[in-house]
Each structure stands twice: as C-alpha cells, then as structure tokens.
Amino acid sequence: EDQVTQSPEALRLQEGESSSLNCSYTVSGLRGLFWYRQDPGKGPEFLFTLYSAGEEKEKERLKATLTKKESFLHITAPKPEDSATYLCAVQEGTGFQKLVFGTGTRLLVSP
C-alpha cells in the first residue's frame, strides 16, 4: 500500500531562517508527487508536481526536489505569510488518480 511520511510534524522558524521539509514515500510506480499548502480552515492549495527523480521546481521562496525515495520542500528566507501546513501526496502509476497524502508539516514563521 502507498505510504507517505512527512517530517517534521511541526517546525518553527524565524523570519529569514531557511529550512527544509521532508516527504518520504513508498509507492509502486510513482506517477507524480504533489506538494500542497493548506491554511487553517481552508482547502489545500496546489504548489508543485514532480514526476521523476532529479526534477526540481521553484515558486517564489519555495523549491521542491525529488529523489527515488523522498522529496524535499526547501524554504528560503521565509516570511510570516509562509506559515501554513505543507502537505505532500503521491499518485501511483495505475491510471487511477487517487492521491495518497501525508499528514503534513505545520510551519510557523515568526517575525
């Protein structure tokens, strides 16, 4: 069964203090790995899709990378508005679109 484990569960950073979030996965044939951002009381907001090991994508202060067993979400010089829960999900290559989500990393960036 597909599994997604995210670490740490919670992370507190000072504004400007860069760090990385980890997503380890087990899937039989990765079709795509997804990163979402979720603010309290709201639905997840799509950030990135990564398809193959070695791929990287960037958006503002966020950069996602992928290896054969894990993905990292690097946050460079974060700002308080980056505070949110970051969710990782995988989709296996069976043609069926179910996404399996991790439980997320709660990020708090203090000014």
Partner 1 sequence: DSGVTQTPKHLITATGQRVTLRCSPRSGDLSVYWYQQSLDQGLQFLIQYYNGEERAKGNILERFSAQQFPDLHSELNLSSLELGDSALYFCASSAGAGQGYYGYTFGSGTRLTVV
Of 97, 85, 6, which is closest to residue 45 (Cα–Cα)?
A: 85
Stretch near partner 1 under the rule CB under 8 A, chosen from 22-30, 63-71, 72-80, 97-105: 97-105
Token duo for residue 99? 């996404």
Q: Whose Cβ is closer to partner 1: residue 54's or residue 95's?
A: 95
Of 76, 72, 105, 80, which is closest to residue 17 (Cα–Cα)?
A: 76
Of 13, 30, 32, 4, which is closest to residue 103 (Cα–Cα)?
A: 4
Selected binder of partner 1 within 30, 87, 107, 109 (CB under 8 A): 87
Q: Whose Cβ is closer to partner 1: residue 51's or residue 108's?
A: 51
CB of 51 to partner 1, least distance (A): 7
Chain centre to alpha carbon of residue 108: 15
Stretch near partner 1 under the rule CB under 8 A, chosen from 13-21, 42-50, 59-67, 71-79: 42-50
Selected binder of partner 1 within 14, 29, 41, 54 (CB under 8 A): 41
CB of 52 to partner 1, least distance (A): 12
Spatial separation of the C-alpha atoms in residues 41 and 53, rounded to whole Å: 33
